[in-house]
A and B are shown apart, each in its own frame.
Chain A
Amino acid sequence: MRIVVGPSGDIVEARIFANNETIVFFVPPAPERNNSWDGPVIGFTASCDNCGLPDLTDTDEDGVRDADDNCTLAPNGPAIPDAGGNSQLDTDGDGFGNLCDGDLNNDNRTNSLDLGLFKAVFFTDDADGDYNGDGFVNSLDLGLFKQMFGKPPGPAGALQGGAP
């Protein structure tokens, strides 16, 4: 930490260094202080991007930050649960939520092999083929499967980019 004192003897700035980032606290000139001011820090600005704080971005706004979200682009968190009311449903435990995981054979691609597997469990209560989590594999899941077809599963926060 470094304290900067101005020409009048007042503290005008305090700098804290941590993790190669710098946080700058500044003290406005005396006329801007009010009567209740009893310390040097009454305002601050940060000169770092994230200041070492965790990234709170939640792209799909489902209530789970991207870093922890098993589907970062498909809402499946507590704020926007899936059709079955589930949050972060991941029945095959591969780190990708069901809502973005058409890759039933876990070869990191949703393709005709997965279509065959999906077709085999169609109109059943198979958990992995139930993408929307409503308890049954049906045409709503087929609609979701088509959107995932030809793509890797995810993206998921912990497995960003697809391949585990």
Chain B
Amino acid sequence: MKLMISKMAWLCLLTTFATAALAEPTVGFSASRIKAGVGETITIQIVMSDFPTTEGGGLTLRFNPSVVRVVDVEIDSATWNFVTRDGVIDNDKGRVKDLLFSSFSGVAGDAVVATVTLETLGRGRSRLKLVESGLNPFGSGGNSLDVALIKSVVSVR
């Protein structure tokens, strides 16, 4: 019995370490689903998780322009303190193009990338989709990083 518990404890420990070691860097949103009424203002953060030390990256945000519009995008300058660009908001095409951010010392683990302020325009659903910007790929030590990008959904009633 004692041996079995000991084995199980080791197995749990190994599983925990293995999971941590295999965790893929992801970039997504602070909420996976948001519900709001028409005419409301929503604030959502773009967040990254499980990153090795990265000097920065770049994203384009896509959304449904008939449901929401982007009022403002602000990159977290406390974290990304080298050179940043807040991106170009285009509410006609439904995108914020090339949010670019960088850090000389590098950022590891979990961090906020940017805060996005949205205004709801009409009823419907808008996916908030992230696409990696070719101008500034996520990198670590000069090498590109593979990053999983996770969507969010805004439902407006």
**Would you call the interface of chain A mostly helix, strand, loop, or mixed?**
helix
Chain A residue with minimal CB distance to B54?
A: A139
Interface size on B, residues (CB 8 A): 22
Contact in complex: B135, A138 (CB < 8 Å)? yes
Contact in complex: B85, A142 (CB < 8 Å)? no
Chain A residue with minimal CB distance to B144?
A: A140
**Would you call the interface of chain B mostly helix, strand, loop, or mixed?**
strand
Q: Does B28 contact A (CB under 8 A)?
A: no
Q: How far is the CA of A144 from the CA of B106 in the complex (A)?
A: 12
Interface mask (B81-125 → A, CB under 8 Å = 1, otherwise 0): 011010000000000000010101010000000000000000000
Q: Does A146 contact B (CB under 8 A)?
A: yes
Q: Does A143 contact B (CB under 8 A)?
A: yes
Residues 138 to 164 of chain A near chain B (Cβ within 8 Å): 138-144, 146-147
Contact in complex: B138, A139 (CB < 8 Å)? yes
B71 nearest CB across to chain A (Å)? 24
Contact in complex: A139, B104 (CB < 8 Å)? no
Q: Does A44 contact B (CB under 8 A)?
A: no
Interface mask (B33-76 → A, CB under 8 Å = 1, otherwise 0): 00000000000000000000011111000000000000000000
Contact in complex: B57, A123 (CB < 8 Å)? no
B25 nearest CB across to chain A (Å)? 14
Contact in complex: B135, A143 (CB < 8 Å)? no
Contact in complex: B136, A138 (CB < 8 Å)? yes
Residues 112 to 149 of chain A near chain B (Cβ within 8 Å): 115, 119, 122-123, 131-132, 136, 138-144, 146-147
Contact in complex: A140, B82 (CB < 8 Å)? no
Contacting B55 at CB < 8 Å: which of A123, A132, A136, A146? A146
Interface size on A, residues (CB 8 A): 16
Contact in complex: B104, A122 (CB < 8 Å)? no
Give chain B residues whose Cβ lies under 8 Å from the Cβ of A132: 142
Given the interface pairs A140-B143, A140-B144, the reply to whether A122 lies near B137 with Cβ below 8 Å is no
Given the interface pairs A119-B82, A143-B139, A144-B142, the reply to whether A138 lies near B58 with Cβ below 8 Å is yes
Contacting A122 at CB < 8 Å: which of B83, B106, B142? B83
Give chain B residues whose Cβ lies under 8 Å from the Cβ of A139: 54-58, 102, 136-139
Given pairs A140-B142, A144-B142, 9 additional interface contacts (CB within 8 A): A119-B83, A123-B85, A138-B56, A138-B102, A138-B136, A139-B102, A142-B82, A142-B102, A143-B143
Sample 12 A-B pairs with CB under 8 A, ordered by A number.
Answer: A123-B85, A138-B139, A139-B137, A140-B55, A140-B142, A142-B56, A142-B82, A142-B102, A142-B104, A143-B140, A143-B141, A143-B142
